[in-house]
Amino acid sequence: MCGIIGCVGKRPAAALLLDGLHALEYRGYDSAGIAVMDGETVSVVKTKGRGDRLEEKLREHPLQGTMGIGHTRWATHGEPSDVNSHPHTSMAGDIALVHNGIIENYLEIKRWLMDRGYRFASDTDTEVVAHLVSHYDQGDLVRALHLAMTRLRGSYALAVMSVR
């Protein structure tokens, strides 16, 4: 069972998110990742495997910023791998999200998005949400998310972050 976490405040987000992910470890997971916003860009570090691997990667690529989201994954769509780990991002990299659950109609939405030029990096059901939110985003993330959610079927919890 996966876990999601988000934080916004004045303290460095990466350390807070790692603490939060450790607290969720008891639920079991196969991959973990975080995205942090530094005010202008969203940066992602994610990996298949345990939290100590994520910490190692974060030491190599420290993330600066006080807003972020994190995820421990229990794969349902797409094997456990670095690329299938969350967070997933829009093609422009301006939106990042983590997801708990299953998008039942993801294939239908994926085909619809691919017909409109969206390219997919992973095999997950989750990535359709990142591109769908991006498709509807005209500067108001809440509205874009609301529109995207009218198209999603399944059971899911999301944490979404945008540079705008």
Q: By CB under 6 A, is residue 76 in contact with ligand GLU?
A: yes
Is the Cβ–Cβ distance between 30 and 71 less than 8 Å? no
Cα separation, 158 vs 160, in Å, equals: 6
Is the Cβ–Cβ distance between 96 and 17 less than 8 Å? no
Give the H or E element holding residue 92: none
Q: Report the residue from 66, 67, 74, 93 that binds ligand GLU according to the rule CB under 6 A.
A: 74
CB nearer to ligand GLU: pick between 24 and 58: 24
Question: Least distance to ligand GLU from the beta carbon of 135, Å?
Answer: 20
Q: In what order do the strands lie in the sheet with 42-48?
A: 3-8, 67-73, 31-37, 42-48
Cα Rg, the chain, nearest whole Å: 15
The residues pairing with 103 across neighbouring beta strands, listed in sequence order, are: 154
The contact pattern for ligand GLU, residues 19-48, with x = CB under 6 A and - = no contact, is: ------------------------------
The contact pattern for ligand GLU, residues 113-142, with x = CB under 6 A and - = no contact, is: -----------xxx----------------
Q: By CB under 6 A, is residue 73 in contact with ligand GLU?
A: yes
Q: By CB under 6 A, is residue 53 in contact with ligand GLU?
A: no
| Residues at the contact surface with ligand GLU, assessed by CB under 6 A | 2, 73-78, 99-102, 124-126
